[in-house]
């Protein structure tokens, strides 16, 4: 079980001179699911990119446990125990499922943990990844990410482009995974986010508008305001 919490304090960041995030405070459940909601363009993906170090923080701090990791490279954050699955999946279409998974396996070469989480991948190991369904591609990306044995997993819209019948399946697997590690979940499917999350942050124009446990957030009139286009 993980005891390493990821937290952000007063976090700002963006693209070049364009500031997108303003003074974001966030602290993740360990283990468990912390969902981040907000309308398109609210800054959810940008937040994950700053947390993993793909974009620099221009203010504030990111901590893993008590250690500030704000200035660490993405590679060192991954080594420290954070994994990231971006929205646009880095899946190599020409490679088999097995070879795509092996990219995440490091020196051990073992892909068993990914297959234990998503047994369907075990049946598709020799398939070309480009021929997989949207849901299966998401499974490959998540399965590969957990092979680095992360304590914290950042997931950007794992159900985007996934057939509704498979959304629950992915949700069930994430719920299992969240018994062991912390997941920060950016998600457009509200039902799934409310089902999985221990805590929810609602973002609006680069700020955290409010946060709370799912019951509180669902009945907060600010939710509709923050999610309406
Ligand atoms: N590469 C980029 N360069 C400049 N601005 C960007 C870039 N990527 C995103 N943005 C801008 O940053 C803002 C926040 O985008 P972000 O992708 O973080 O939002 P989001 O909440 O994840 O939205 P979505 O649900 O659509 O993915 C938007 O105004 C977007 O146009």
Q: Which of 87-91, 119-123, 163-167 has the lowest mean pLDDT?
A: 87-91
How many angstroms separate the alpha carbon of residue 1 from the centre of ligand 1?
33
Answer yes or no: is pLDDT of 215 > 80: yes
How many angstroms separate the alpha carbon of residue 188 from the centre of ligand 1?
15
Tokens of 29: 């459940």
Question: What per-residue confidence (pLDDT) applies to 1?
Answer: 46
Answer yes or no: is pLDDT of 119 > 70: yes
| CATH topology for the 4-227 domain | Rossmann fold (3.40.50)
**Ligand 1, atom 26: nearest CA belongs to which residue?**
40
Q: What is the mean pLDDT of residues 189-202?
A: 96
Q: What is the mean pLDDT of residues 209-218?
A: 97
Q: Is the CB of 15 under 6 A from ligand 1?
A: yes
The pTM is what? 0.95
CB-count exposure of residue 122 (10 Å: 0-12, 13-18, 19+): middle
Question: What per-residue confidence (pLDDT) applies to 3?
Answer: 58
Q: Are strands 182-186 and 152-156 parallel, antiparallel or unpaired?
A: parallel
What ipTM is given for this predicted complex? Answer: 0.96
DSSP 54: S
Q: Is the CB of 106 under 6 A from ligand 1?
A: no
How many angstroms separate the alpha carbon of residue 44 from the centre of ligand 1?
8
Q: Are strands 57-64 and 18-27 parallel, antiparallel or unpaired?
A: unpaired
Q: Where are the domains of the chain?
A: 4-227
Question: What per-residue confidence (pLDDT) applies to 103?
Answer: 87
């Amino acid at each position: 079980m993980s005891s390493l919490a990821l937290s952000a304090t007063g976090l700002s960041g963006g693209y070049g001179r364009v500031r997108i995030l303003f003074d974001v405070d966030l602290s993740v459940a360990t283990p468990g699911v912390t969902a981040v909601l907000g309308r398109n363009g609210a800054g959810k993906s940008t937040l994950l990119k700053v947390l993993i170090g793909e974009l620099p923080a221009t203010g504030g701090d990111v901590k893993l446990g008590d250690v500030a990791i704000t200035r660490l490279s993405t590679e060192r954050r991954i080594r420290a125990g954070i994994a990231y699955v971006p929205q646009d999946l880095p899946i190599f279409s020409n490679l088999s499922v097995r070879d795509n998974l092996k990219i995440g396996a490091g020196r051990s070469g073992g892909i068993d943990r990914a297959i234990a989480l998503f047994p369907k991948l075990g049946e598709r190991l020799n398939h070309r990844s480009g021929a997989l369904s949207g849901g299966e591609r998401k499974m490959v990306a998540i399965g590969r990410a957990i092979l680095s044995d992360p304590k914290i997993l950042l997931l950007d819209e794992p159900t985007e482009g996934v057939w509704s019948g498979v959304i629950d399946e992915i949700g069930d697997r994430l719920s299992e995974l969240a018994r062991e590690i912390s997941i920060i979940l950016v998600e457009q499917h509200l039902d799934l986010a409310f089902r999985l999350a221990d805590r929810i942050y609602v973002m609006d124009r680069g700020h955290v508008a409010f946060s709370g446990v799912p019951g509180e957030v669902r009945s907060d009139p600010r939710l509709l305001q923050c999610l309406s286009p």
